Amino acid sequence: MSDIPAPSTAFSRLRRAAKPRPERLTSFFEFWPGWIAYAPIALQWIGLGIRYGNPILATAANPRIEAGGLCGESKQSILDQIAGPARDWIAPYTVAATGAFAESDDLSIAEAAMAASGLSFPLVVKPDIGCNGTGVCLVDNRADLARYLAAFPRLTRFMLQALIPHEAEAGIFYIRRPGEKTGTITSVTLKSSPVVVGDGRSNLRQLIMAEPRCAQVPHLYLPRLAARLHEVPATGERVKLVFVGNHCKGSTFRNGAKLVTPELSARIEMIARAIPDFHFGRFDIRYESPGALRAGEGFSIIEINGVGSEATHIWDPQTTLTEAYRAQFFHYRAAFQIAAANRALGHRPTDFFTLFRMWRQQKRLLAAYPVND
């Protein structure tokens, strides 16, 4: 018997974690070093590996995605699998690769790919293999794109994607056990970028240090904005501190359980079922408004992540440590259960040496990518 809860149970857990509490700017564990924060998860993973006879069995949770989406997978390879009406919900994109030499005509290659796909500036450029928003940038024109490509590693694929005009971003986690008619939304995270407002006197550094939450984690903003810290925004000018919707890059995360409706669930189900053998992962979207999202409308998917993703509502400052670990344990246990069911159906997990090679490649690339916006 599976301990993946029924939809009603999963919704109730998610909503309980979203109940109002005394407002906190950050939780005490929100910015713990990774080796501390994820130590219990690593121990659980080891235990699950022993129980199921393979420490990397979870790579079989999504059999049609490289390594199940645990690491090193191509973003393009996932999005390319979606066909039919579901494809209308994907932000338009194309992929190209840098040349072997620094003097390669990467800009012409990128512009040709844009023209073939009907893309135009401004747009988002990002690595085809990556994680945590590393190397994701907004480019407004040819000069911006040329600078980005000059700093990009050689013989490496990059994705050009239409800039979705909606400011709001969210992560929607979805789980479906093999054989089930419908899956379940188990987490919704609402993502936003901190904004400071100019007063005509203070420079950007001073404005950041005067913002209560930003002042607690200035290391997330000051190094990346170093070249602009002397600027004095005009009175009323709004300066967005980060473009990437990633917690470790400085975005603010909130539990969005209240937005889960039958309409949204049905829309996500339709899209998820358009991906062959997709059972476990997170849809990262940009959406028009909370009302539109509740109705299952007004959003575009910018990425789909597999086993390597997490239910990011745990980084809501109002989430307790107990709730965070409960959510993590639940999701990774589900990944192993789903993978075990897929193994019984004949799907094989990624072998260790292939996974290690993919991890090494991703680690090397992450260190070489340009600084994200």
Query: What would the pLDDT profile of 283-333 be if each residue is shown by its tens digit?
Result: 999 999 999 999 999 999 999 999 999 999 999 999 999 999 999 999 999
Which tokens is 26 given? 């950050």
Dmax (CA) for the chain in angstroms is 66
Range of lowest pLDDT (40-49, 85-94, 208-217) = 208-217
Tens digit of pLDDT for each residue in 207-242?
999 999 999 999 999 998 999 999 999 999 999 999
Which tokens is 276 given? 């062959």
**Model confidence at 246, in pLDDT bands (50, 70, 90)?**
confident
Class level of CATH domain 7-22+48-91+166-193+245-363: alpha beta
Mean pLDDT of the chain: 93
CA 297, 130, 370, 372 torsion: positive or negative? positive
pLDDT at 346 over 80: yes
- CATH of the domain spanning 92-163, picked from 3.40.50.720, 3.40.190.10, 3.90.1170.50, 3.30.1490.20: 3.30.1490.20
Q: What are the distances in angstroms from CA 27 to CA 74, 78, 198, 217, 263?
A: 33, 34, 27, 12, 32
What does the angle CA 262 – CA 11 – CA 181 come to, to the nearest 5 degrees? 60
Quick one: which of 342, 48, 54, 4 has its CA closest to 179?
342
- State the pLDDT at residue 1: 38
Residues of the chain with CATH 3.30.1490.20: 92-163
Residues of the chain with CATH 3.30.470.20: 7-22+48-91+166-193+245-363
The model carries a pTM of 0.92
- Count other C-beta atoms under 10 Å from residue 291's C-beta: 11
Tens digit of pLDDT for each residue in 101-126?
987 899 999 999 999 999 999 999 99
